[in-house]
Amino acid sequence: MYNIAIYIYLIGVAIGSLFNKKIKKMWRGEREAVDLLKEKVDPTAKYVWFHAASLGEFEQGRPLIEQLKATHPEYKILLTFFSPSGYEVRKNYEGADIVCYLPLDTIRNARRFLRAVHPVMAFFIKYEFWYNYLHILRHRGVPVYSVSSIFRPGQVFFKWYGRNYAKVLHCITHFFVQNEVSLQLLKGIGIDEATVVGDTRFDRVLQIKEQAKKLPIVEAFKGINGKGDACKEELSENGCKRDLSEDACKDNLSEDACKRVLSEDACKGDLSEDACKGDLSENGCKGCKVFVAGSSWQPDEDIFIRFFNEHPDWKLIIAPHVIGEDHLAYILDKLQMKAVRYTQATEQSAAEARCLIIDCFGLLSTIYRYGEIAYVGGGFGVGIHNVPEAAVWGVPVLFGPNNKRFQEAQDLLACKGSFEVTDYDSFNTIISRLISDDKFRHQCGEASANYVKSRSGATDIIMKSVVGK
């Protein structure tokens, strides 16, 4: 039945490629993948294969790829994608030696692909369980690891009618799962090779934070004065919330504002409320307050745009999930404020605008750093997007009601680092308190940051288990 379904799907993709550019890219990429491998594979090298369905799964696998690359240069990395949204963004990823599409899971495709590569081990990220690939890998004695995988009772593997397909899970050498529920579900079908390690995504967002570069256009939009490196921590209304170095004080605060010299060890002198007139974000200097909406869809935008149209004291950054011209035009039409698109902006035009629209990919994880409050979209559709990506920056995170399947969202709700939005009224209630109560907003942000830090470390556990380091 599985192979019949795959061939039916294959026919559907072939037909769809005639009418859809995205499907056409995938169709062409899958057909060309084996020829690409024959051309690029070094027959003397040992390849470790990482497969990610799309961009989100890639980000979960990325810490593993980069740690393996750094500690075991004897291996080469093959990275495959199923979706164009992953491949097209990361096809030039320097951490992998070869990047290509994964041909659809027919027996013929799987055999040809594996003959071309001969991987010494394979990592499948999260939900990827391709029946033919995995069975052939097991037959060849290639160890296969499922990373950041998560299971729920309603999945087909755990239903009476899914027992045959569940055999594919027995092809996995070891599961590194996100939670205890997943572990127990696997044990219930006779799989004991599993360990609860959490989600590598937390390691990735911390990595992104550490490596984040400044974005001059966004800093101009926020009103940062260009001396962001000096002033790295926030000043509360009451004084010096965290340590500032002597240089930080001298470079960024005037004599009047910085009434006494701040040593490297502490804030020896108090700063009055008048002296500290605005928050100093991690980026540096005084800037206006910004609400960042990431991966937003139309239902999300209908809510927060309506609110900020009526609150001119805040600025708005929108990084929509879909950046097609029709959708961008929809956003611009709803905005009752001066807006500018990132790809068309100068530092001057950004500074003069009240809304900055991110109309390109690859910036969102860094964009969140410029916000006092974040919103993660998708919760009025199939499900919310990457919440830890925003939470790592120490800001409260809002999202829509379809969040129940996302453990990190449930955890953040429990620790008061995040809030659920069900409609405009609930958004209005939550955002109004966050805007008006600085202390509450900072507390929620700290809860978000602490949660992400507490869940890190999965990458090290996996690497130690798999390769000994």
Residue 224 has pLDDT above 90, yes or no: no
For residues 275 and 346, membership in a common domain is answered with: no
59 domain residue, yes or no: yes
Residue 81 host element (H or E): strand 75-81
Token pair 């605005």 is at which residue? 278
Neighbours of 13 (CB within 10 A): 16
106 domain residue, yes or no: yes
pLDDT digits (tens, 9 = 90+) for 279-328: 333 333 457 899 999 999 999 999 999 999 999 999 999 999 999 999 99
Summarize the confidence of residues 156-175 as an average pLDDT: 92
Distances (CA, A) of 125 to 45, 59, 103, 116: 23, 10, 17, 21
For residues 345 and 403, membership in a common domain is answered with: yes
Distances (CA, A) of 174 to 127, 181, 294, 300: 14, 16, 34, 39
Cβ partners under 8 Å of residue 211, min gap 6: none
pLDDT at 247: 39
Neighbours of 229 (CB within 10 A): 13
260 domain residue, yes or no: yes
Neighbours of 456 (CB within 10 A): 21
CATH number, domain of 146, equals 3.40.50.11720
Dist CA 344 CA 357 (whole Å): 10
pLDDT at 279: 38
By residue count, the chain amounts to: 469
213 domain residue, yes or no: no
- The pair of three-digit structure tokens given for residue 298, joined into one six-digit string: 């139309």
265 domain residue, yes or no: yes
The string of DSSP letters for 310-324 reads T-TTSEEEEEES---
For residues 366 and 255, membership in a common domain is answered with: no
- The pair of three-digit structure tokens given for residue 294, joined into one six-digit string: 């990431």
- Name the band, by pLDDT with cuts 50, 70 and 90, for residue 3: confident
For residues 9 and 29, membership in a common domain is answered with: yes
216 domain residue, yes or no: no
pLDDT digits (tens, 9 = 90+) for 394-437: 999 999 999 998 889 999 999 999 999 999 999 999 999 999 99
* Burial class for 171, CB neighbours closer than 10 Å (0-12, 13-18, 19+): buried
For residues 320 and 255, membership in a common domain is answered with: no
For residues 32 and 43, membership in a common domain is answered with: yes
Summarize the confidence of residues 216-220 as an average pLDDT: 96
- The pair of three-digit structure tokens given for residue 62, joined into one six-digit string: 């990325």
Mean pLDDT taken over the chain: 86
215 domain residue, yes or no: no
Dist CA 78 CA 98 (whole Å): 5
- Name the band, by pLDDT with cuts 50, 70 and 90, for residue 188: very high
pLDDT at 44: 94
229 domain residue, yes or no: no
Total domains in the fold of the chain: 3
For residues 85 and 191, membership in a common domain is answered with: yes
Sheet with 397-399, side-by-side order of all strands: 339-341, 355-357, 315-320, 290-296, 373-376, 397-399, 418-420
For residue 271, the enclosing domain spans: 235-286
For residues 42 and 162, membership in a common domain is answered with: yes
Summarize the confidence of residues 121-149 as an average pLDDT: 94
